[in-house]
Structure 1
Amino acid sequence: MSPLDARHPPGWYILCTARALGRKPLAVQAAGRHWAVFRSASGAVSAVEDRCLHRGMALSAGKVCGEHLQCPYHGWAYGGDGRVRIVPAMKGDGHDWVSTALPSLECRELDGYVFARIGEPAGPPHRFKHLGEPGWTSFHMATRFQAGVDACVENFLDCPHATFVHRGWFRTPTAKPVRCTVTTLADGAQAEFFDEPREKSVVWWLLSPRRGEMRHVDRFISPHTTEVEYEFPNGLHYVITSSCTPITATKTQVHTVISFRSWRGLGPLVRAFFEPLSRHIIQQDVRMLDAQQANLARHPGRPFASTPADVLGGHIQAWRRFARGEGEPVAAGQVQHVDLVL
């Protein structure tokens, strides 16, 4: 079993983008540990703890030599499994001299990212919906939050906060009733919203038709992925997928892919204003969650109060506790109706 901080549920976590790995190793922090991620001469991607067993030098400061990662201090070389392969000052296989191996992670390269298996996840990495499909345009964002995964995931799937944090940009208070249907899934839960107001919003003024129904579904995929999907009858379709990698208990790296299908040939034009707008909005969340975490540190251990308007909050917490081996989530197929005011 790969090393795991008990606070972080088992899963496939993104360590970095695939193109960030060149000929040099990369220093990455995830799940409370520091890792040296490298691509060997054969193209295999590996991650080992960023610490030479000899005198503790950072392996990420070394270099890749064929299939091995070489420490810059005394040249000890490691395989992707963390075993010592070469001790230059001694003859023979390095493992003959040092039987201890560094902690290492199984890695997979998918959708332009390097995923690492931490713990014993239930299934394969979650793929980014519609990424690379014909007719779809996508762009990527990497965002650092000074907040834990729980706070990030709930924020991404929380409609009421948008009327205040993103007021005028994404949503504006209208005091209109909105219906919501929450459905439990085999790997999480989803919320579908009906009769949402779209007026007085820069995002919807630019990116949606003035008339017609909007299908909006928010999904939590355990233990650390969110999907927000908007679809219109004229073919416009937006999907925002975010994968959260815990750095520490109170720091998270979020990799987001936004994919959209627009009118034929207009994808690059839509992206030209959609991407900077998205980056502006997510930075509003960064500032709010950073401030929230700073205040939580001033009041440690205080409980939260919730209402039915936190439509996915309880399900997120139950699934993340279950992933850590605590309790059970609600069985799949359960449906709950909630009335909101947005």
Structure 2
Amino acid sequence: MENRTLGSNGPTVSALGLGTMGMSDLYGATDETESVATIHAALDAGVTLLDTGDFYGAGHNEMLLGRALRDRRRDQVTISVKFGALRDPEGGWHGNDGRPEAVRNFLAYTLQRLGTDYVDVYRLARLDPSVPVEETVGAIAEQVTAGRVRYVGLSEVGAETLRRAQAVHPISDLQIEYSLLSRTVEAAVLPTCRELGIGVTAYGVLSRGLLSGHWTADRQLSPGDFRSFSPRFMADNLEANLLLVDALREVAQARGATVAQVAIAWVLSRGTDIVPLVGARRRDRLAESLGALELTLDADDLAAIERAVPVGSAAGARYAAPAMEHLDSER
């Protein structure tokens, strides 16, 4: 497994990370036995970066990850945790809490659920507009001093916020959506990360399944599936986006690869300071994603990919309007 370092001050991790959100929340029914088996398969393949959030399944995802890691060496895994999102028993969303006292509270529960005494990378899931980022980062930095957190990360923030946060404490990496269909990060955020020595962990590299090569226009979504109200999966938008996937499929077939592998390999090609997170929920999907590591894209491949999926060609925003308003990175 190739390794990459998260920024100039962060940990060295596998070139691909595993995002575990879908094993607990937002993508329909889950299978705990298969989820644990998938985490184990990722670890056995050399994946060392595991990403979760304390609000995924209202704590379920952290408990699942803790169970999967029970018989594994803690120092061989890098656990990234997002915190701050406020939920209700029905699964609703009610903003984000970045107050210092909330940081301490959220972390206490996270450590208990994971069954560990430290988190490798800790980050606020979305910027709390009522709390200066300096206060939130300062509170996480206190936990670094206490030994409960190893590195401070951020999620979905813009260039100005990155600079303010970095002035308080070194930031290891920014977690942000980055894929062939989501490239706004390239304008200001990615250059700022590189200027400041901050790595990028890219989520949504398959655009929540759109770029998997397995999505069909007639697929029925289960109740509560995030994609049922995602603009890119709606009617005409979905039809337009699947045409882009068909064009990408031609590029993939020419390379003897799958659509998913080409989409992941493209993100890998953006720079060694970028670590894609794949959200595989099953071992077969994980194996397919790992195949992207064997795919080296040359200049002709990259040009063909750009022609198939030109920048800005995605139909629909990456979130519904209310959720987009919580993205400091899009302002």
TM-score range, shorter chain: under 0.3
Give the structure with the larger strand fraction: 1
Greater Rg, structure 1 or structure 2?
1
Give TM-score, length-normalised by structure 2.
0.28
Give TM-score, length-normalised by structure 1.
0.27
